[in-house]
Amino acid sequence: MTNYFNEQPMAMKSFPGLPETIELEAKQQAEALEITNRLAAATGKLAIYYQALALVAFEDWLKKREPSLSVEKTEASLFNPDYAQAVNAVCNLRVGEFKICLLPTLGFSDELVTIPQAVLAIPEFAAHFYLIIGIEDELDLAGIRGVARYDQLAADIAGISVQGDGSYELPITSFSPKIEEFLVYLQCLSPATIKLPAVSTNRDYLEDVLKILTQQAINVRKWLQNQVDEVAQQFAWQPLPALSSLPRLRQSQGENLKDILTTIEVDIPAVAACSYRQLELAGTPLEFYAVTWPLPDASGDWSLLLIVATMPNQEPPVGVKLRVTDLTQVLEELEWQEDRDYLFMQIIGSEEEKFLATITAADGREKTRTLFESKS
């Protein structure tokens, strides 16, 4: 990393192109360390520490630059250890009526910055303004490298693919160095000017999002390539033969998979791959099928057909639910009725998308969750 200090006195702490700097005093570093230790996170402590440094630095900077404004951090993602580990950002801060998101980076010289997909895709995390906070911990220095509005960033990522770690890379030039304008916006702009996605009040969705961020996903593309997926193996998923030659899986009461597929009249191509697992939910045995195939003439797009079926001679498990959620919303939820032997749901996704399938017992107390993706 470039050392811009050279032989300058440390007190100058001047970095070319860095509009705002904040000296990290011992008490701020101690506060950040205390926040980190309080979370008792099993992993990612260093990343959480830098998030905490970004927060205390931003609070100090705002207090000095505009004493009439203050940071409301009660709902900050940093104070939820699961979110703090899953998303390298400080979301759900508020300054007045504006939502603020801090994106910590190491150093001040990188021309590309990493933006977690979650801070833009998840309505609860979306913010009116995003600030890049550079951290030079060894130099006891933080700096505001730039600021961007939600609508601007959403436009910037429109043509960019999500990386394997669930983030985007954007040039630092996507963020304005005009920090004075940001302060003016906080005092003069109406929050309605920057439209944010509607926040869900569905508690199931909020639980599902955390699983999407933290749970390992089954890569169904490996099934299409006749490869073993380790995550699927962990949950006892078993591959089935090609659907065109699929034998009868059950000979007694109830449908076999081929009969189910005929009944629901889904057009499944010969290249489709299928796996299934047996599970027990609140004492009820069930079969869970996942059928996937690539969509023609659509780069990376894929279809996922999920089926939850009864075992032979089993009464319909009335009240059992199948729900599918992506990062932004609950896509669909179905509840088992007396006249059905199965539930099914079809979802279409891109290579960037993950889908969490949740099967819930009738009493709502027991759940099983499976996360699916299709990536090369």
The pLDDT confidence band at residue 254, using thresholds 50, 70 and 90, is very low
Domains 20-199 and 213-373 share a fold: no
The Cα–Cα gap between 189 and 187 comes to: 6
Task: Please tell me the predicted confidence (pLDDT) of residue 277.
Answer: 93
Task: Note the CATH architecture for domain 20-199.
Answer: 3-Layer(aba) Sandwich (3.40)
Whole-structure pTM value: 0.87
Sheet of 284-294: strands edge to edge? Answer: 238-239, 273-281, 284-294, 302-310, 342-349
- Per-residue pLDDT band for 14 (boundaries 50, 70, 90) equals low
Determine the average pLDDT of the residues in 322-344. 94
Mean pLDDT of 264-272: 86
Kindly list the domain boundaries of the chain, sorted by start residue.
Answer: 20-199, 213-373
**pLDDT tens profile 147-156:** 999 999 999 9
- Region 77-92: mean pLDDT is 94
pLDDT the model gives residue 111 = 92
pLDDT class for 12, splitting at 50, 70, 90?
very low
What are all long-range contacts of 288-295, with beta carbons under 8 Å and residues at least 24 apart? Answer: 288/359, 288/370, 289/257, 289/260, 290/218, 290/220, 290/237, 290/357, 290/370, 290/372, 291/243, 291/261, 292/220, 292/221, 292/223, 292/224, 292/372, 292/374, 293/224, 293/268, 293/269, 294/224, 294/374, 295/348
What percentage of the chain reaches a pLDDT higher than 70?
A: 91
CATH 3.40.50 fits 213-373, yes or no: no
In the predicted model, is pLDDT for residue 47 greater than 90?
yes
**What are the tens digits of pLDDT across the range 130-163?**
999 999 988 899 999 999 999 999 999 988 888 8
Cα R_g (the chain), whole angstroms: 25
